[in-house]
Amino acid sequence: MMDNRQIMTRVEEILASMTLEEKAAQMVQVPYAFAGREESLRWAKMGAGSFLHVLGDDAREIQRAAIEQSRLGIPVIFGIDAIHGHGLNDHATIFPTQLAAACSWNTEVARIMGEVTAREVATDGLHWTFSPVLCLGRDTRWGRVNETFGEDPYLAGEMGAAIVRGYQGEDMSDDEHILACAKHYIGYGEAVGARDSCDTEMTYRKLREIFLPPFKKAVDAGVGSIMTAYGSIDGTPFTIDPVTMKDILRGELGFDGFVVTDWDNVNSLVRRQHVCETTEEACVLAANAGNDMIMTSTEFYQAVLSAVRDGQVKEETLDDAVRHILTVKLRMNLFEKPEKTGRPGCFGCEEHLQHAKDAADKSLVLLGNNGVLPLREAKKIAVIGPNADDVRAQYGDWTYFTHPKLNLEHEPVRPYVTVKEGMEAACAARGMTCAYHRGCSVLDGEYEDIAGAVETARDADAIVLVVGDVIAQVGEEKDRAVLELSGRQMALFDAMRALGVPLVTVLVASKPLAVGRAAAQADAFICAFNGGMFGGEAVAKAVFGEINPCGRLAISFPRASGQVPVYYNQLPGWHCQQGKGYCDLPEGPLYAFGEGMGYSAFAYSDLTFDRETLMAGVKVTNMGERTGTETVQVYFNDVVSSVLTPVKQLIAFKQVELAPGESAVVEFALSREDFSLINRKEERVTEPGGFELMIGHSSREQDLLKTSFRL
Ligand code: BGC
What is the per-residue pLDDT across 473-507, written as a single tens digit (0 to 9) for each?
Answer: 999 999 999 999 999 999 999 999 999 999 999 99
| Domain-embedded: residue 633 | yes
Residue 380 belongs to a domain: yes
Cβ partners under 8 Å of residue 123, min gap 6: 340, 341, 342, 343, 344, 346, 347
* Residue 240 sits in the same domain as residue 370: no
Do both 62 and 83 map to the same domain?
A: no
For ligand 1, the distance from its centroid to the CA atom of residue 635, given in whole angstroms, is 34
Question: Do 635 and 526 fall within a single domain?
Answer: no
Is 305 among the domain residues? Answer: yes
Using one digit for the tens of pLDDT, what is the confidence trace for 335-354?
999 999 999 999 999 999 99
Find the farthest-apart pair of alpha carbons in the chain and give their distance in angstroms, rounded. 80
Across 96-124, average pLDDT: 98
Find the 263 Cα to ligand 1 centroid distance in Å: 6
Mean pLDDT of 225-241: 95
Is there a domain that residue 597 lies in?
Answer: no
Same domain, 45 and 100: no
User: Best substitution site from 263, 272, 294, 403 to test ligand 1's pocket, by max atoms within 8 Å of Cβ?
Assistant: 263
> Confidence class of residue 406 from pLDDT cuts 50, 70 and 90?
low
Return the pLDDT at 581: 81
Q: What integer is the mean pLDDT of 512-531?
A: 98
Q: Is the CB of 709 under 6 A from ligand 1?
A: no
Q: Residues 241, 120: one domain?
A: yes
Residue 441 sits in a domain of what CATH number?
Answer: 3.40.50.1700
The domain spanning residue 280 has which CATH number? 3.20.20.300
Range in 57-61, 196-200, 592-596, 666-670 with the lowest mean pLDDT: 196-200
pLDDT band at 577 (very low <50, low <70, confident <90, very high): low
Q: Examine residue 551 and state whether it is found in any structural domain, yes or no.
A: yes
Asked if residues 415 and 458 have their Cβ atoms less than 8 Å apart, the reply is no
Collapsing DSSP states into helix, strand and coil, what is residue 233?
strand
- Report the nearest-CA residue for atom 10 of ligand 1: 130
Task: State the distance from the centre of ligand 1 to the C-alpha of 165, rounded, in angstroms.
Answer: 21
At 628, which CATH number? 2.60.40.10
The reply to whether 319 and 434 lie within a common domain is: no
Contact, 174 vs 4, CB < 8 A? no
Would the pLDDT of 167 be above 70? Answer: yes
630 and 506 within one domain: no
- What average pLDDT score do residues 203-211 get? 97
Classify residue 234: in a domain, yes or no.
yes
**Each residue of 274-300: pLDDT tens digit?**
999 999 999 999 999 999 999 999 999
612 within 8 A of 605, measured Cβ to Cβ: no
Q: How far is CA 219 from CA 252, 257, 486, 570, in A?
A: 11, 9, 40, 26
- Nearest atom within ligand 1 for CA of residue 197: 8
Q: Is residue 15 part of a domain?
A: no
Is pLDDT of 578 > 60? no
pLDDT given for residue 683 in this prediction: 98
Say whether both 629 and 501 belong to one domain.
no
108 and 215 together in one domain: yes
Is the separation of the CB atoms in 328 and 225 below 8 Å?
Answer: yes
In the chain, the percentage of residues whose pLDDT exceeds 70 is: 99
Number of domains the chain is built from:
4
Q: 380 and 314, same structural domain?
A: no
Mutate-to-test residue for ligand 1 from 83, 98, 129, 130, highest number of ligand atoms within 8 A of CB = 130
Average pLDDT rounded to a whole number, residues 608-614: 97
CA 668 to chain CA centroid, Å, is 26
H or E element at residue 32: helix 32-46
- Residue 345 in domain: no
> Which atom in ligand 1 lies closest to the alpha carbon of residue 403?
12
* Residue where a domain terminates, one of 579, 594, 618: 579
Considering the domain architecture, whether residues 440 and 467 belong to the same structural domain is answered as yes
Spatial separation of the C-alpha atoms in residues 658 and 662, rounded to whole Å: 6
**Domain with 411 in it:** 364-579
Name the phi and psi angles at 201, rounded to 5: -85, 95
Find the 131 Cα to ligand 1 centroid distance in Å. Answer: 10
Verify that 269 and 406 share a domain, yes or no: no
